[in-house]
Amino acid sequence: MALIDAQIRQAKPQDKDVWLTDEKGLRLLIKPNGSKYWRLKYRFLGKQKTLALGVYPTITLKEAREAAGDARRKLAGGVDPGQLKKREKQQRLLDSDNTFAVLAWEWYQQQRGTWTADHAARVWGRLKDDVLPALGENPIITIQPQDIIAVVRKIEQRGALDVASRVLQDIRRVCRYAVQTGRLTFNPAIDLTGVLKTRASSHRDSLPKEELPDFLRALAAYHQRGRLLTQLAIQLLVLTFVRSGELRGARWEEFDLDDRLWRIPGARMKMKTEHLVPLSLQSVAVIAQLQPITGQYELVFPSERNRREPMSDNTMRRAVFKLGYDGNTLGKSKAVPHGFRATASSILNETGFNPDAIERQLAHMERSGVRAAYTHHARYLDERREMMQWWGNYLDQLREGRSNVIPGKFGIRG
């Protein structure tokens, strides 16, 4: 006889297990402690089996019958509902182990050996700051395109379109790794390139020459509103126009202040070859200010949170934006740290310095294997020393409002 809900509610526990029978194999087990469990008896391949369907009253009589009916339909299709339930539970456990954070870390560890230390730090920094807070705990199999789009849109809202593009690429690569290792069957980020906003960009948001004086004066006072370490990092970046990652990853051991030379090892360079950066007197003065701040650490510009990690690119970017160079301030162009390389290159070329010396100072890829094989003297080091000191003097004159900027003669085109 079929059960009714009132009968189940009124059923009292006994000293031993009590079974109340419904219909078609559905039964209710009442334990001596009063707990009530739904069970379905069934046969599969000649064997008697029992399927757990939940706890009463969380699972009502109606819901238990629906679950039993679903199990019987599986049986009719040749599927053992008990084994299916076990496999689904195992898959859920597997999915909980295969979160986006776990897969991202696996992918990162696999790839980092092929990258420079600075590039590896940038990649993991983007994942840690912009992706893992939103997607990290999600089983990767549950991540949908709209979840990824939401992450990218949030980055775009703060104006970091380049970062948004790189983050989307990072997510796509993590998901590709998940497909390759059998944790995903489809890459949810594969067709999302078109969702990114685009903007016209000239030399990656380099600052026009005309705006340099005001920028330099504002930068000199940045410590009144932000960290002095950040100000000094940007000042040294402008003076040396190295890549942002090359500056942020600088180690104290790389600097020879007696020879006024910064030797960046090839492992930290985009082109994988050692880069020599002549230091102007102005650069040496900045480094002298840095020594009492971070001289006790390995890194010249350590992160505020972890002194063993470099300052993030976003730290300098946000500082430049805080000075008003975010593209939203009337009379001020948008500028990003990497853009100072283009600004310096443009001014030095206009002034008449040797283009080869400028390109060498920018550590751009050599145009031929012959050039790449030149000796130390062919690195235009003497010319670059003269050029970098001229650049330091020029920036001082701009900041101080002097207009009598006279180029040096060494290394100038005749």
Catalytic residue numbers read: 243, 270, 338, 341, 364, 374
H helical segments located in 251-377: 281-294, 313-322, 339-351, 355-361, 369-372
User: Contact, 280 vs 392, CB < 8 A?
Assistant: yes
Q: Coil, helix or strand for 375?
A: coil
Classify residue 241 as left (phi > 0), alpha (psi -120 to 50) or beta.
left
User: Contact, 247 vs 233, CB < 8 A?
Assistant: yes
DSSP secondary structure of 18-86? EEEE-STTEEEEE-TTS-EEEEEEEEETTEEEEEEEEEETTS-HHHHHHHHHHHHHHHHTT--HHHHHH
* Angle, vertex CA 164, rays to CA 194 and CA 176, nearest 5: 70
* Angle, vertex CA 370, rays to CA 377 and CA 262, nearest 5: 40
Handedness of CA 359, 365, 368, 371 (dihedral sign): positive
Q: Which amino acid is at 27?
A: R
Query: In Å, how far are 18, 222, 230, 336 from 168, measured between CA atoms?
Result: 58, 33, 28, 20
Cα separation, 258 vs 157, whole angstroms: 46
Tokens representing 64 are 């238990």
Tokens representing 131 are 């992706």
Q: Coil, helix or strand for 345?
A: helix
* Angle, vertex CA 56, rays to CA 52 and CA 60, nearest 5: 100
The edge-to-edge listing of strands for the beta sheet with 47-56 is 18-21, 26-30, 36-44, 47-56
Cα separation, 127 vs 104, whole angstroms: 8
Cα separation, 404 vs 211, whole angstroms: 17
